[in-house]
Amino acid sequence: MIGVTETTEAEENEVAAAPTTPEEWRAFLERYGELYVKVRADGEEVVDLLDEDQLDALDRDERVEPWLGEAPAGEEALAASEERLGVAFPPGLRGFFLTSDGWSHLDGWVDGVHPCDRVVWMRDSEAGGRVTGIYASIPGNEEVVELFRRSVEIARGEDYWLLDPTDVGPDGEWAAYTFTPKYGDTTKYPSFSALFHSGLGNMEEDEG
């Protein structure tokens, strides 16, 4: 489908307690990794993600907190990425990169959060530029095409995670969106942190 439905807003309970500082992100991502292994990963993937001691602990139904991210980005790497894009990253995104420079296992239909040196304007990425051109060719998509053209692509797979630096909240955070090309749907969140946190909420519901 190449039409676009009206953008929906995330539910308030999906965005509570979103992390901002590196300390908050570390605790959040450890919990995220724990739930991903427990709720989302299949048997083969679990073996790939955990070491032998962690697999034994999992067999004993003990808590396992695998680190599914990367080493932290340094301030120099963040500054270089910001200079390349011509923007200063919002606090929550900076806190994430200072904790993990990318993330490879996510709830939903994205492959992972890009490391800071691969964050790109959606209009400039190969896939993003192609999607933008397709949607721009069809009348009625003007609003979402403008969103694509002004947004940063922070994660991509079958779906996209986008951040809009022109829509800044009182806390300095950029509005964030999930975009599902298959259905033409967009969902808006108040920040990157809140978008990421929504996946944790989904996994916690499924764990229960």
> Two tokens at 45?
């993937």
Determine the 3-state secondary structure of 188 from DSSP. Answer: strand
> Two tokens at 157?
């797979």
Distance (Å, whole) CA 40 – CA 139: 38
37-54 b/e (C-beta count within 10 Å ≥ 16 → b): beebbeeeebeebbeeeb
Answer whether residue 1 is part of any domain: no
- CATH code of the domain containing 20: 3.40.1580.10
Range of the domain at 52: 8-207
Contact predicate 178/161, CB 8 Å: yes
Distance (Å, whole) CA 206 – CA 109: 16
- Is residue 17's pLDDT more than 50? yes
* Number of domains forming the structure of the chain: 1
pLDDT band at 1 (very low <50, low <70, confident <90, very high): very low
- Is residue 2's pLDDT more than 70? no
Answer whether residue 51 is part of any domain: yes
Opening angle at CA 29, ends 83 and 183, nearest 5? 75
> Two tokens at 151?
């947004």
pLDDT of residue 134: 93
pLDDT of residue 14: 47
Answer whether residue 201 is part of any domain: yes
Instruction: Lowest mean pLDDT of 64-68, 117-121, 197-201, name the range.
Output: 64-68
Answer whether residue 3 is part of any domain: no
Question: What whole-number percentage of the chain has pLDDT above 90?
Answer: 64
The top-scoring range by mean pLDDT among 6-10, 68-72, 120-124 is 120-124
Rounded to 5 degrees, what are φ and ψ at 52?
A: -60, -45
Answer whether residue 2 is part of any domain: no
Answer whether residue 112 is part of any domain: yes
Answer whether residue 153 is part of any domain: yes
Residue type, 143: E
